[in-house]
Amino acid sequence: MKFSRLGRPGKEKPCILDANGTWRNLSGLIDDISGEALEPDALSRIGAADLASLPAIHNVDRYAPAVAGVGKFICIGLNYARHAAESGMDLPKEPVMFMKATSSIIGANDQVVIPRNSKKSDWEVELGVVIGRPAKHVSEAEALDHVAGYLVVNDLSEREFQLERGGQWVKGKSCDTFGPIGPWLVTKDEIPDPQALGLWLEVNGKRYQESNTSDMVFGVAHLISYLSDFMTLQPGDIISTGTPFGVGLGLDPPVYLKEGDVMELGIDGLGQQRQEVVAWQDA
């Protein structure tokens, strides 16, 4: 199943894509694409519904964030070997974990705002994993049973804030608009192997990132198991699993985002995003 949240800010409707490629409004069945609606029993009820009886949405004016009410936005750093090398960092012996503020989340095609005083805003295409069942101390063998589905994440980063301002990475990762997710949430039954997905990113039509999730240092199942030893993962939580080689920081010379740039990115089976970059405007 493919779920999305369609509509302008404050007017988003939970939707499902039917077999004919038409979006259907799920508001009569669930409140939103979040929390309890992502648990296995709820997904089964939605899957058994007569989608043809639900209101059709023919004009999509906006793909809102594909998951609402995200509790935790957990990110994994340096999870592709060539990206670790381009960042000048050693390959980690254990997953590098950091948090991204949920206030950074925007829709897949919403504008990205360069933060005030930013000189080094950067891009990162990543596979996002959405949790569907609580996970605490789960084994790697059981880990994927706790997944509701997958989506595209652009883990935008301000490299000066992240690496040159002291403290932890979160300050360079959490700027407003630095977390586009979607356009869809694709349930795990449609993605039989999360370690076999091509992913790519372009800026102004130039391809900078192109790789496959098979190149991850730590796979999705390992990450879920590992994280669940430190905290309980809850339905609606998102794990962003790391980015491949080709970020602006790693180029010679580095290339960073500027006003007017357009990012396009995608992952096999999970759709594409497109964001125009705009400058910060003081209120």
- Asked if residue 91 belongs to a domain, the reply is yes
Three-point CA angle 163, 221, 196, nearest 5°: 85
Q: Are residues 163 and 37 in the same domain?
A: no
Let me know: does 128 contact 239? Beta carbons within 8 Å. Answer: yes
Give the domain CATH number at 235. 3.90.850.10
Domain ranges, residue 47: 2-57
Q: What is the pLDDT of residues 108-141, one digit of tens each?
A: 999 999 999 999 999 999 999 999 999 999 999 9
Q: Are residues 13 and 147 in the same domain?
A: no
Q: Are residues 102 and 237 in the same domain?
A: yes
Place of tokens 């790693």: 250
Q: Are residues 49 and 88 in the same domain?
A: no
Q: Are residues 105 and 48 in the same domain?
A: no
Q: What is the pLDDT of residues 50-84, one digit of tens each?
A: 999 999 999 999 999 999 999 999 999 999 988 87
- Asked if residue 79 belongs to a domain, the reply is yes
Q: Are residues 91 and 201 in the same domain?
A: yes
Q: Domains in the chain: how many in total?
A: 2
End-to-end CA distance of the chain: 41
Q: Which pTM value belongs to this model?
A: 0.96
Dihedral sign for Cα atoms in the order 76, 159, 151, 106: positive
Q: Per residue of the chain (283 residues), what is the pLDDT tens digit?
A: 999 999 999 999 999 999 999 999 999 999 999 999 999 999 999 999 999 999 999 999 999 999 999 999 999 999 998 887 877 878 889 999 999 999 999 999 999 999 999 999 999 999 999 999 999 999 999 999 999 999 999 999 999 999 999 888 999 999 999 999 999 999 999 999 999 999 999 999 999 999 999 999 999 999 999 999 999 999 999 999 999 999 999 999 999 999 999 999 999 999 999 999 999 988 7
Structure tokens at 179: 């977390």
Q: Are residues 205 and 132 in the same domain?
A: yes
Q: Are residues 53 and 187 in the same domain?
A: no
Q: Are residues 13 and 121 in the same domain?
A: no
Place of tokens 């994994």: 76
- Asked if residue 65 belongs to a domain, the reply is no
**Cα(178)–Cα(158) distance, integer angstroms:** 9
Give the chain's length. 283
The residues pairing with 76 across neighbouring beta strands, listed in sequence order, are: 97
Q: Are residues 145 and 16 in the same domain?
A: no
